[in-house]
Structures are given as structure tokens and as C-alpha cells.
Amino acid sequence: VFAGTPEVAVPALDALIASDRHEVAAVVTRPDAPAGRGRRLVASPVAERAAEAGIEVLKPVKPRDEEFLARLREIAPDCCPVVAYGALLP
């Protein structure tokens, strides 16, 4: 499971995706946020890249959200690299 949000985190995600030694089971990023004049909801750069790669994207509103934590338990990741993710995960 990879956690990140901004464009600066995308190269790290790309490296993990390209690696034959790692599997990115899911990505944790911020929920879609309003942007631009129309305040249209926009996904984070990490969410967009993960979706392009066919990776599950988790967007918890709160890090202690029970549905989110249950999904993390189901995935049971060996590790969770973090690059520029703005919340502390339990």
C-alpha cells in the first residue's frame, strides 16, 4: 500500500509500479478536492496515476474511518511507503 497525494509523490509510485520486487495493492490519498473557478472536484495526482495503472484507490475522509481501516486489514500490506501524505495513519 502506497500513501501519497501531490505530483511530487508520483515518481515514487511509478518506481514501485515498475518494480518486479513489489506489488502495489492499493493507494491511500486525500479525497477529491474542489479546484479551479468552477470548484469542480479533482482527484489527486497520485489517485489519477493509480487509476491509470488499475490500482485500487482509497480516499478516507478521516484516517480512523472504520471502513477504511477494515479495508487496510483485508489488504494486510507488508509495508506502507509514504511520500507527501498529509495525515497520520493509525
Q: In the chain, how many domains are there?
A: 1
Please state the pTM of the whole predicted model: 0.92
Q: Render pLDDT for 62-72 as a digit per residue (tens, 0 to 9).
A: 989 999 999 99
Q: What is the pLDDT of residue 23?
A: 96
Residue 89 falls within a domain, yes or no? Answer: no
Q: Which amino acid is at 18?
A: A
What is the average pLDDT across 46-70?
Answer: 96
Residue 49 falls within a domain, yes or no? Answer: yes
Sign of the Cα torsion 87, 21, 25, 8 reads: positive
Biggest CA–CA distance in the chain, Å, is 43
Within a 13 Å sphere around the CA of 56, how many CA atoms are in the beta-carbon half? 12
Which residue is associated with the grid cell 486525500? 30
Q: Which domain holds residue 12?
A: 2-83
Portion of the chain with pLDDT greater than 90, in percent: 87
Residue 42 falls within a domain, yes or no? Answer: yes
Residue 90 falls within a domain, yes or no? Answer: no
Q: The domain spanning residue 53 has which CATH number?
A: 3.40.50.170
